[in-house]
Amino acid sequence: MTNLPQDFIDKYTRLLGQSAPDFFASFNAPVAKGYRINPLKANSKTFDTPNDGRVPYGKWGYFGTVSGHAVDHVTGVVYSQEPSAQFVGEVLHPKPGERVLDLAAAPGGKSTHLAAFMQQQGLLWSNEIFLNRAKILSENIERMGVQNSIVSSQTPAELSAKLPQYFDKILLDAPCSGEGMFHKNEAAIQQWHKDFPQELADLQRDILSEAVKMLKPGGQIVYSTCTFAPEEDEQMIAWLLSTYPEFSLEVINKPVSARIDDGEPAWADKAYTDGTNHQSQTQSQQILKQTARLWPNHLQGEGHFVAKLSKQANPEAQQDNVKRMKSVTLNATQQEILITFLHDTMIDFNLQGRQWQLFGDRLYLAPIDSPDISNLKILRLGLEVGTFKKNRFEPAHALALALPAKDFVQHYEMTTLEWAKYVHGDVIRPSKQLQKGWVLMTANGNGAGWGRYVDGQIKNFFPKGLRFVVQQDKVSDNQ
């Protein structure tokens, strides 16, 4: 058996009773790998990712292992995501046009899932307090071609001060003790101790208190963890319902084929879970059956807990008074350079619902009606279009990943051999004549990055930090 802490074994032996042996045995089973298909891409059919069957909830989830060097991964067609974690986005299920906050979003699996539902409409605000993790989040948002996301690195309290009652839906995949990851993460086991779940529960209450402030009346919060700990799961929801009477628990649809379990009402009583009180649950606790538990001994996936809560609507509530972002005015030189670039490189570039913004010399298209971002650490502001350089405009890698090939004047579909050269940073000598200028380089019909055609060859603009060597057995002359 995995080297589980004895206090952990004792705790769940007591709580699970007869089902405890099956639960502990699941830690020795093979780890289930999964991924999601990205519907935001022009061609969302996989090219070099194995399909080991469907995940039994949602329409984009599959079992299989993703290679970080695969065409599908590099072009953002797939996102590697643990199967149980995919259930969380399905529960929140935002609609196009809504304002959605993913409050603890790194590395981006759940944010990119929410973006798939939103179809580039509305505002997806993805936040991560730790800057190094926020950078990874921003890179994944870019790779998946998400155009309507603001990525920030702020504390929940800093955000709630700027964005009171602003969001229609909020996801808090809370920092937790990580018990549900013991199966595949030795580090999670090493940092665990018997008081760890309670320490994390104290942090979760603080974060939830700030999330509540940012939700509109009539809005919804989905709270999730990757832990089994009642202190962080049922007890957290019981606390929220008792502290904020305007909130109520929503029923979560649990597909029978997925073997997703109800929450455990009795576990809302701390004395019960500590083993000092064996009274049966109260009537008010029974509602916690509406939460969801994903047990690794019942399905192909790791441990997860999910709850969906609604905030009471208030017809008399004022519209949000959040200050809006001001649109930037480009100077005459910038306007001329940009117009030239768009004419030479793009076809019918769509500005509907978006506004220009500048970070230094970097030009973005932000969702219209976005909040004021002054004094906030912002890593991404909608779609990065490119950078003004001396007398020219250089398109951003994000632009190549976000739009279909038909939106570009020139695009070039690479062979497998050319793909290997491109991701290595080599010059490409194309098989057809092109016009001097920018070329969208595509693989499996999707943008992979930029090249610039000059004198019979394509100069490589694939970002240096992303370059890699394709294994020789993966290279052939086949298309």
Q: Report the catalytic residues.
A: 226
Please tell me whether 173 is known to bind a ligand.
Answer: yes
Please tell me whether 115 is known to bind a ligand.
Answer: no
Please tell me whether 48 is known to bind a ligand.
Answer: no
What does the chain come to in residues? 479
State the Cα–Cα distance between residues 10 and 15, nearest whole angstrom: 9
**DSSP assignments along 316-339, one per residue:** TPPPP-PPBPPPP---HHHHHHHH
Please tell me whether 105 is known to bind a ligand.
Answer: yes
CA nearest to 324, candidates 355, 350, 358: 355
Contacts 24+ apart (CB under 8 A), 238-245: 238/268, 238/285, 238/288, 239/205, 240/208, 240/212, 240/309, 241/287, 241/309, 244/212
Please tell me whether 437 is known to bind a ligand.
Answer: no
CA nearest to 47, candidates 413, 429, 312: 413
Question: Cα 117–120–126 angle (5° rounding)?
Answer: 80
Please tell me whether 174 is known to bind a ligand.
Answer: no
Helix ranges (H only) for 100-155 are 109-118, 131-143
State the Cα–Cα distance between residues 310 and 249, nearest whole angstrom: 6
State the Cα–Cα distance between residues 168 and 117, nearest whole angstrom: 14
Please tell me whether 445 is known to bind a ligand.
Answer: no
Please tell me whether 25 is known to bind a ligand.
Answer: no
Please tell me whether 158 is known to bind a ligand.
Answer: no
* Strand residue runs (E) in 260-313: 261-262, 292-294, 304-311
Annotated binding site for S-adenosyl-L-methionine: 104-110, 128, 173
Annotated binding-site positions: 104-110, 128, 173
